[in-house]
Amino acid sequence: MADDRLLRYAYMRLTRELDARFENLLLTGRVAKWYSEVGHEATTVPAGLALESGDSLCTLHRDLGAILSVYLDPARTFPGLGFGEPDGRRPEPADLLYKLTCQLLGRRDGFSHGVERSFHYGYFAPEAGICHVGMISHLGAMIPVAAGCAFANKQSGGDRVAINFIGDGGTSTGDFHEGLNMASVWKLPLVLVIENNRYAFSTPWHAQYATERLSSRGAGYGMAAETVDGNDPDAMATALAAAVGRARAGEGPTLIEAMLGRLRGHSVGDDSLGVVPEEDLERYRAEDPVPAYAERLVAENVLSAAAREEIESRSAALVEEALSAALEAAPPDPRIAHRSVFAVSGTPPAYPLGPFPGEPEEKSATAEPAETTYVGAVNLALTEEMARDGSVIVMGQDVGVFEGAFRTTRGLFARWPERVLDTPISESGTLGIAIGAALLGYRPVVEMQFADFITCGFNQLVNVAAKLYYRWQAPCPIVVRLPSGGGVGAGPYHSQNPEGWFAHTAGLKVVCPATVADARGLLRAAIRDPNPVIFCEHKFLYRRIKESLAPEAEPESLGAARVRRAGTQLSLIGYGATTWTCLEVAEELAGEGIDAEVVDLRTLVPLDTETVAASVRKTGRALIVHEAQTTAGFGAEVAARLADVAFPWLDAPIRRVGHADRPSPYAKVLEAELLPSRGKVTAVARELIAF
């Protein structure tokens, strides 16, 4: 068997060859941008080689070496050098490099078929043991996601690990703290490698952080940490082997700071290299790890002239073959731009870890329907789905022993302590972990203590979870439960209705149940859905409405509105708590001889436009009521669609009644002044009838 050092050099040389060719393509205008890894190979290649089949690799711009060493079988990539027997599970090197170069060039045959740029893709090949989670441009955001992959590995009972990279600049983000803190608290098998080239984009280290070494932060999280010479692949391999060993042994995460020289700008040719003092730049060039390592191996009689020639010629040939074919490959089919943002029911996980432990539990339902509150229905749905499916996990602040701020998780921790997880106050970290776990086959249900707090995790939802299926065709089955809405005098930070924020983001489903039965049925459907679902539970309804629920009931369907009361003269359209307002108004109008129909949207995304339009075509009048602020509230979208599909049937303008464009005040008398009250809705309804 060949020396491990020879294997490191082979991958480092192949990485440099591909990198150099893309730098040339940039200079000739055949690619618009290139993020070079030159100078990082001694850090990234050992990281990739430290992983085994089933582990997770989470990369950034400058981690090509890790990608190649994870993807490619060394025996087939460098035949004749004694790198063991071929691994038949891994793709052929030529095929893989062609697909990769197509990705980097934006061709149809790339991993994302032209949807994503360069290294922003994900590649999931369970049969080959490859789980590669790419990046988003918001640096630091993928650390919690990588922690989620590590969580899934630990939760499934195996010894798989996740390695993630971050630059020195990204260590200043909140997600760096949240991801590492949660990884340490939960002892997750995560290795985070900081590629510290001291300048982020162009900001020198002393303007980014005050500590002498970024590895010193590890002590604050209670995790192992060290600083390593990132130009020394042997030192990196030793540090990574120890970190991976700790992770596999259940000893938790490790933070490795790899010190590197800045040899290129943030992207090639962006002039950011000019911030590096010339004397430092000269030193970094002298320490360039690829030629320096080759010289060391020659001196140590590890790299013979014949082996060096074989590695260099083979690297050049592989890259030339792949790149020549990719440059001639077809551009993306324009129809790809319109591919769905939603996975269909039954879509398998991107990288399934199952089967999950345990069989579906027997139902212990009573024979007769039982009267249940809205909050009880939420609890019932969680209980039913956790009993049915071992991949369902519940996480959030105080959801375990305390059983939730609103007691929606009552009894769950006692029954499934390993699947009901209390989290720190860490919305972004929790959501990122849920996303990573979902990619590997789990179905996380995350409770925000109040809907208002979702802003602290906004990026994970709108830029990671929402876009995954469109970008990578990877389903992300998470449910985020939001106790939302006003009417209880909770003030501006505990009363918001954020559904419009998420309805605007392609790739998120948004559900707003109004009834006890829907709280149960729609939540069960949301948990089974293969997409991220924002589930808005109006807390005013939690204990104010009751309904008898059958012990056996199938999940409802997402995307189906429902006519709650039939009528012929006016359509009152609401969702959540305003459905009840509409029903009260319809009852009052009936006493005046006005026959109003009430339509409950139930699901905002996908929206059942046809049911709403059919009602308006029948009545000729539409009044939309929602508790969110009026300007840009979801009612505007409903109104726009009705103007498109029902305009010839309208006998009056489409009207909306929403919350005044103000934050929600604390004093109930002030709050009531701004809410879409029964009186306000009735007054506008009368105006429409008289029109």
Boundaries of every domain in the chain: 4-330, 370-549, 562-690
Range 377-387 average pLDDT? 97
Q: What is the DSSP letter of 453?
A: G
CA distance 267 to 36: 7
Using 50, 70 and 90 to split pLDDT, how confident is the model at 363? low
pLDDT > 90: percent of the chain:
92
Note whether 4-330 and 370-549 share their fold.
yes
Provide the whole-model pTM.
0.96
Contact 577, 587 (CB under 8 A): no
Tens-place pLDDT, residues 531-573: 999 999 999 999 999 999 998 888 999 999 999 999 999 999 9
Query: Which pLDDT does position 534 carry in this prediction?
Result: 98
Architecture of the domain defined by 4-330: 3-Layer(aba) Sandwich (3.40)
CA distance 284 to 166: 20
Phi, psi of 68 (to 5 degrees): -65, -40
* Catalytic residue list contains 494: yes
Q: Is 78 a residue whose pLDDT tops 70?
A: yes
> Among residues 530, 409, 543, which one has the least CA distance to residue 481?
409
Q: What is the 3-state secondary structure (H, E, C) of 105-133?
A: HCCCCCCCCCCCCCCCCCEEEHHHCEEEE
Contact 153, 189 (CB under 8 A): yes
Contact 322, 94 (CB under 8 A): yes
**Alpha carbon separation from 341 to 465, 471, 473, 507, 532 (Å, rounded):** 11, 8, 8, 5, 11
Tokens found for residue 223: 């995790």
Tens-place pLDDT, residues 187-210: 999 999 999 999 999 999 999 999
Assign 229 to helix, strand or coil: strand
> Among residues 323, 313, 629, which one has the least CA distance to residue 486?
629
Q: Write out the E strands in 561-602.
A: 562-565, 570-574, 596-600
221 Cβ contact list (under 8 Å, min separation 6): 180, 181, 183, 184, 253, 255
Exactly one of 113, 494, 626, 659 is catalytic; name it: 494
Q: Is 226 a residue whose pLDDT tops 50?
A: yes
Range 30-39 average pLDDT? 92
CA distance 691 to 689: 6
Give the strands of the sheet with 123-125, arranged side by side: 123-125, 130-133, 56-58, 162-167, 190-196, 254-259, 224-229
Tokens found for residue 117: 């740029």
CA distance 306 to 312: 10
H-state helical runs in 462-515: 468-472, 499-503
Query: Which pLDDT does position 597 carry in this prediction?
Result: 98
Range 366-376 average pLDDT? 87
CA distance 436 to 77: 30
Tens-place pLDDT, residues 602-625: 999 999 999 999 999 999 999 999
For 91-101, letters b (16+ CB in 10 Å) and e give bebeebbbbbb
pLDDT > 70: percent of the chain:
98
Tens-place pLDDT, residues 619-644: 999 999 999 999 999 999 999 999 99
In the block, tokens 């996303």 appear at 435
Contact 39, 289 (CB under 8 A): yes
Using 50, 70 and 90 to split pLDDT, how confident is the model at 80? confident
For 273-305, letters b (16+ CB in 10 Å) and e give beebeeeeeeebeebbbbeebbebbeeeebbee
Query: Which pLDDT does position 552 carry in this prediction?
Result: 85
Is beta strand 370-373 parallel, antiparallel or unpaired with respect to 546-549?
Answer: antiparallel
Q: What is the 3-state secondary structure (H, E, C) of 254-295?
A: EEEEEECCCCCCCCCCCCHHHHCCHHHHHHHHHCCHHHHHHH
Q: What is the DSSP letter of 202?
A: T
Element (H, E) at 520: helix 516-528
For 471-502, letters b (16+ CB in 10 Å) and e give bbbbbbbbbbbbbbbbbebbeeebbbbbbbbb
Contact 169, 262 (CB under 8 A): no
CA distance 94 to 317: 10
Contact 84, 49 (CB under 8 A): no
Using omega within 30 degrees of 0 as the cis cutoff, is the peptide bond preceding 355 cis? yes
**Residue 648 neighbours by CB distance under 10 Å:** 6
Tokens found for residue 77: 């990539």
Weakest mean pLDDT among 292-301, 359-368, 384-393: 359-368
Tokens found for residue 457: 């995790």
First to last CA, the chain: 88
Range 265-273 average pLDDT? 87
Query: Which pLDDT does position 1 carry in this prediction?
Result: 46
CA distance 493 to 516: 26
Architecture of the domain defined by 370-549: 3-Layer(aba) Sandwich (3.40)
Q: What is the DSSP letter of 419?
A: T
Tens-place pLDDT, residues 284-310: 999 999 999 999 999 999 999 999 999
In the block, tokens 């045959």 appear at 109
Element (H, E) at 152: helix 142-155
Dihedral of CA 436/442/443/448: which sign?
negative
Assign 658 to helix, strand or coil: strand
Q: Tell which CATH classification among 3.40.50.1100, 3.40.50.300, 3.90.1150.10, 3.40.50.920 matches the domain 562-690.
A: 3.40.50.920
Tokens found for residue 525: 């459907």
Q: Is 430 a residue whose pLDDT tops 80?
A: yes
Query: Which pLDDT does position 553 carry in this prediction?
Result: 87
Assign 322 to helix, strand or coil: helix
For residue 146, the number of C-alpha atoms closer than 13 Å in the C-beta half-sphere is 35
Mean residue pLDDT across the chain: 95
CA distance 89 to 418: 33
